Amino acid sequence: MFAALIFYMFAGLTVASGVAVISARNPVHSVLFLILCFFNAAGLFLLLGAEFLAMVLVVVYVGAVAVLFLFVVMMLDINVVKLREGFLQYLPTGALIGLVLLLELTVVFAGWAFAPDVEALVAAPAPTADVASNTEALGRLLYTTYAYLFQASGVILLVAMVGTILLTLRVRAGGRKQKIADQVARRAADTLEIRKVPTGGGI
């Protein structure tokens, strides 16, 4: 009973803040609602017993991604009112398509069934808490059974990094670049000169 209440609180707030993200007038408010949404989703994960995912969601998405969004939104001068032009014009079509999709999915999910011997097929069943903690179980899977996928994800991130640098890095002609080696190699004797200043006189 209590768990159900908590679930509905988290789920309701997730949906409500999700709606607020796209309807808020001020983009900064949108990002803040997004953070609220992430927190509630983390709460849902906790209810499922996936405490590691819950913490990762908070640390990575709230701590890094949402804050990055906040910076981007504040630095870019986005005119939301201008972006919203024609929003009402597309609203009926979008709402209609969304409604049809919702109905179809309701039909699909209302009569949901599982394959007969689905338990036997499950690739990596979660161990109970007394065998291994959530984090440990995930780590074991990630670095053994799913090592290929783990490495492949690494390659994707590398490609993303190369692509970002390629598309955005511009070497300016007159730019002053820090040359650490030169800085370290500088000695006091090269730049400093010690002079005796007579009392009452200038240099």
Partner 1 sequence: MSDTLDLLPVLPEIFVALAAMAMLMIGVFGKGEGVRPMTMLGLAVFTVAAVLAWMLGGERTTTFGGMFVMDSFAGTVKVMILLASALTAAMSVSFLEREKLGRFEYPILMVFATLGMMMMVSANDFIALYLGLETQSLALYVLAAYNRENARATEAGLKYFVLGSLASGMLLYGVSLVYGFAGTTSFDGLARLFGGEHPVASHAGLIAGLVFVVAGLAFKVSAVPFHMWTPDVYEGAPTPVTAFFAVAPKIAALALFTRVMIGPFGELADQWRQVVTFIAIASMFVGSFAAIGQNNIKRLMAYSSIGHVGFVLVGLAAGTAAGVQGVLVYLAIYLFMNVGTFAVILSMRQKGRMVEGIDDLAGLSKTNPAMALVMAALMFSMAGIPPLAGFWGKFYVFMAAVDAGLFTLAIIGVLTSVVSTFYYLRIIKVMYFDEPSESFDKPLSRSVGIVMAVSTAVVLLFSFLPGPLLSTAKAAAVALFPQ
Contacting range for partner 1; rule: CB under 8 A; set: 4-12, 19-27, 48-56, 161-169: 161-169
Residues in the chain: 203
Q: Return the number of the residue (87 or 150) whose C-beta is nearest partner 1.
A: 150
Q: Considering the rule CB under 8 A, would residue 116 count as an interface residue with partner 1?
A: yes
* Nearest alpha-carbon partner for 50 in 143, 58, 5: 58
Contacting range for partner 1; rule: CB under 8 A; set: 61-69, 81-89, 145-153, 178-186: 145-153
* Residue in 112, 176, 189, 190 binding partner 1, rule: CB under 8 A: 112
Residue 22 Cα to chain centre, angstroms: 17
Q: Considering the rule CB under 8 A, would residue 106 count as an interface residue with partner 1?
A: no
* Nearest alpha-carbon partner for 124 in 109, 142, 110: 142
Q: Return the number of the residue (100 or 149) whose C-beta is nearest partner 1.
A: 149
Q: Considering the rule CB under 8 A, would residue 2 count as an interface residue with partner 1?
A: no
- CB of 16 within 8 A of CB of 37? no
Alpha helices, H only, the chain: 2-23, 27-48, 51-56, 67-75, 80-83, 87-110, 118-121, 134-143, 147-168, 180-185, 188-191
Q: Considering the rule CB under 8 A, would residue 122 count as an interface residue with partner 1?
A: yes
**d(C-alpha 192, C-alpha 32), whole Å:** 52
User: Of 31-70, which residues contact partner 1 (CB under 8 A)?
Assistant: none
Q: Return the number of the residue (9 or 152) whose C-beta is nearest partner 1.
A: 152
CB of residue 154 to partner 1, shortest distance in Å: 9
**d(C-alpha 18, C-alpha 37), whole Å:** 6
List interacting residues with partner 1 (CB under 8 A): 104-105, 107-109, 111-116, 118-119, 121-123, 145-149, 152-153, 155-156, 158-160, 162-163, 165-167
